[in-house]
Amino acid sequence: DADVTQTPRNRITKTGKRIMLECSQTKGHDRMYWYRQDPGLGLRLIYYSFDVKDINKGEISDGYSVSRQAQAKFSLSLESAIPNQTALYFCATGGTQNTGELFFGEGSRLTVL
Amino acid sequence: AQKITQTQPGMFVQEKEAVTLDCTYDTSDPSYGLFWYKQPSSGEMIFLIYQGSYDQQNATEGRYSLNFQKARKSANLVISASQLGDSAMYFCAMREITNAGKSTFGDGTTLTVKP
């Protein structure tokens, strides 16, 4: 089983719908992140959480919200999806171990029509 | 200003040859980490190599090495003996202690290995 699991892996939805992307991890890390990747571009940080009670906005948080239900679970919501939120979304954990690399989920591809 | 700059949107290399992917960074933090990640066409993100700002020697991991030039603020990835499976997008990233330990990514370089 993957250390970082994202569901759903693919989702097509319509403008105005509420969407939730879920992430769970078995790495035991306190830090969790949500990134967005647009075609041909790098990853941009949406939200991050350093523990269950610590949630912070990233560089592109408008239109998104998150919930840290437990150390292992971090979900991303689009309250009212719009077409320019069509992207590949990654959940990641880590960043505090000696080298600080991130461990990524396999990504959730979201299409908003 | 961009914190991570990857100036090569696309690169080609012949199989078995070496290739260098460029990365420059911008930070005033004395303590930071530099990373390279690989993203194959299947989409997952794979950690390749790490270089700490205080590390005296360039990092190496198998066929990957990081050419760290601190004064020039560059952290180029060198892939030796390229293989067809190296065809992917490669991202340079930086983690700064003063930036709450968050990682910032460049826009990536698409590498194509030719047989």
Pairwise CA distance, residues A48 & A77, whole Å: 13
Which pLDDT value is given to residue A42? Answer: 87
Does the structure show a pLDDT above 70 at B17? Answer: yes
CB distance from A15 to chain B under 8 Å?
no
pLDDT, one tens digit for every residue, chain A (113 residues): 679 999 999 999 999 999 999 999 998 889 999 999 998 788 999 999 998 999 999 999 999 999 999 999 999 999 999 999 999 999 999 866 667 889 999 999 999 99
User: Do the chains contact at B91 and A56, CB–CB below 8 Å?
Assistant: no
Q: What is the arrangement of strands in the sheet containing A65-70, beginning at the earlier edge strand?
A: A4-7, A19-25, A73-78, A65-70
| A75/chain B closest Cα distance in angstroms | 18
Neighbouring CB atoms inside 10 A of A40's CB total: 11
Which pLDDT value is given to residue A97? Answer: 63
User: Do the chains contact at B100 and A56, CB–CB below 8 Å?
Assistant: yes
